[in-house]
Structure 1
Amino acid sequence: MRAVVMLYGVMSYLLFFAVFLYLIAFVGGFYVPIHLSITTEGGGTLALVINIMLLLLWGVQHSVMARDWYKKAIETVIPHHLERSTYVLVSTITLAVVMVLWQPMSGEIWRIEEGALQVVVWGLFALGWTITLISTFLTDHFDLFGLRHSWLHFVEKTYTDVRFTERWIYSWIRHPMMLGLLISFWLVPVMTVGHLVFSIGMSLYIFIGIHFEEQALVKAVGESYSHYQKRTSKIIPKIY
């Protein structure tokens, strides 16, 4: 049974990573059949409503399953060593649904075609994803995506919470992962109306999510996190 739990954790992680790579292409507008740079003449009110509903689906699922009250409610069905991998799996499937069912919309907000400026924007786009990925390793990448839970169960060791630390980027800002995502969602050479809707929706979710995450961290970590909040900015060093 422990091997099955380990396999479940690994498969959830691998599926997440595949969908994460697809997300990069989906946002950047390359190599996938449906992406945010596609426009259509018929993408009007119905497309907007569908896309907003998809974003709400993502936001509600991602937020509800992360709350402590939800985890306590399901712990008799999904034990702790499976909870994180299940969260990752369901979040991954939900994100895949958002991308597959996304409706192209008409219109462009901007299009950068000048060579040097386009290179700069693509560089910032790549930097955003890099910041996001690096930030996961500065906390505990494998705990964040459920592999540590599965591994500790596999080797019959008791799970312990990851100790709060202020490593590198985290000594300047509290949410570098979110900063990286915001950079990548917004800094693209082609901003279509559909991409704008996606970026606004995801940005709103990020800021709302940060609010609730910080409340949870203050509760979990205690006074040391409250002091950390006073010393650092949320997303932009010295600004916000």
Structure 2
Amino acid sequence: MPGMLFALFAYLGFGLAALALALFIAAPLSAGLGLPIHVDASLWPASSPWFAGAIDFGLIVFFGLQHSVMARPGFKRWMSATVPVYLQRAVYLVATSIMVTVLIAFWQPLPAMIWQVQDSFAATLIWMLYGFGWLLLVAATFMIDHFELFGLSQPFRQWRGLPVPHDEFRTSWLYRYMRHPIYTGWLVIFWATPQMSVGHLLFAIGMSAYIVVGIIYEERDLIATFGGRYRDYRRRVPALIPGLKI
């Protein structure tokens, strides 16, 4: 039961971190709501552009290292010495939530504008695309196993004494047409904005680069787990955009 409660805490905390990140990225909407912190605003004193850029780049790298290293099988084996397997996903969510909070709290704005859409109708369409990115991301988690992915199924099985299922290779719904719809959702979220500042561009480029690296490492692990089945899937199905070899 304590493990289940911890997993619920991790799940809810991650949900709050995701909401904070959504508001952080959507700078014009957050500014309109009077929020003092977003990708183009901070409570910290203004820094020189080069120093701010270096801080922001370091935050993105730090986030990427945490997110990627903790997901690797080798790290999970090392963590098994102190953390039960059924709680490892929950611990991963807690660490990710902390890193998202650190990134938001210490981000240094670079508010100079690269583009700004003035037409209200066009801006509304872009915000609809931004919302679609979040919808795609969340929907894609349910097309595999949302509660397994976010660490709730594992402690529930342990609490109820249920057997651990074997790894299952699933290609349902959108996964028949793209290998990584969750990452596609993230890319839409990063780039769909009617107001692109230098800081937002740095964030979008850095996070997009992390996604490319993440796909490489994730697919290496999937091939190690599923072998030829995943190689054939990767050959037939594009990674991010249906109908295109990317």
Distance 1:162 1:14 in 2: 26
Q: Please list the CA deviations of residues 38-75 of structure 1 after superposition, one character each: whole Å capped at 9, or x if unmatched.
A: 38975411111111111111011111111111111121
The match for 2:227 is 222
Q: 1:132 aligns with which of 123, 128, 137?
A: 137
Structure 1 stretch displaced more, 37-46 or 153-162: 37-46
- State the AA in 1 paired with 2:19: L
Matched position secondary structure for 1:110: strand
1:34 aligns with 2:32: no
Distance (Å, rounded) in 1 between the aligned partners of 2:157 and 2:36: 39
TM-score normalised by length of structure 1: 0.95
Counterpart of 1:66 in structure 2 is: 71
What letter is aligned with 1:200?
A: I
The corresponding residue for 1:7 is 5
**Is it true that 1:202 corresponds to 2:202 in the alignment?**
no
Residue 222 of structure 1, CA deviation? 2.1
Match of 1:184 in 2: 189
Deviation digits for residues 133-168 of structure 1 (CA, Å, limit 9, x no counterpart): 100000100001100111111111232245221111
Query: Is contact 1:41–1:105 with CA below 8 Å preserved after alignment?
Result: no
Percentage of pairs with the same residue = 34
What is the deviation of 1:227? 1.2
Structural mapping, 1:1-240, within 5 Å: 3-29=1-27, 30=30, 31=33, 32-38=35-41, 42-239=47-244, 240=246
Superposed CA deviations along residues 61-105 of structure 1, whole A, max 9, x for unmatched, are 111111111111121101101111001110111111101111111
Q: How well do the aligned residues superpose, as a CA RMSD in angstroms?
A: 1.5
**Alpha-carbon separation, structure 2, partners of 1:33 and 1:164:** 44
For the residues of structure 1 that align with 2:48 and 2:204, how far apart are their CA atoms? 17
Unaligned runs of 5+ in 1: none
- The 1-side partners of 2:67 and 2:195 are apart by 28
- Which secondary structure state, in structure 2, belongs to the residue aligned with residue 191 of structure 1? strand
| 8 Å CA contact 1:43, 1:106 repeated in 2 | no
Q: Judge conservation of contact 2:47–2:108 (CA < 8 Å) in 1.
A: no
CA distance in 1, matches of 2:170, 2:19: 28
Distance of 1:160 and 1:138 partners within structure 2? 17
Structure 2, unaligned runs of 5 or more: none
Moved more, 37-46 or 121-130: 37-46
In 2, distance between residues paired with 1:134 and 1:162? 21
Contact 1:41 1:106 survives alignment (8 Å): no
Cα distance in structure 2, aligned partners of 1:195 and 1:8: 34
SS class of match (1:69): helix
TM-score for the superposition, normalised by structure 2: 0.93
Q: Distance in 2 between matches of 1:203 and 1:214?
A: 17
Q: Say which SS state the counterpart of residue 237 (structure 1) adopts.
A: coil
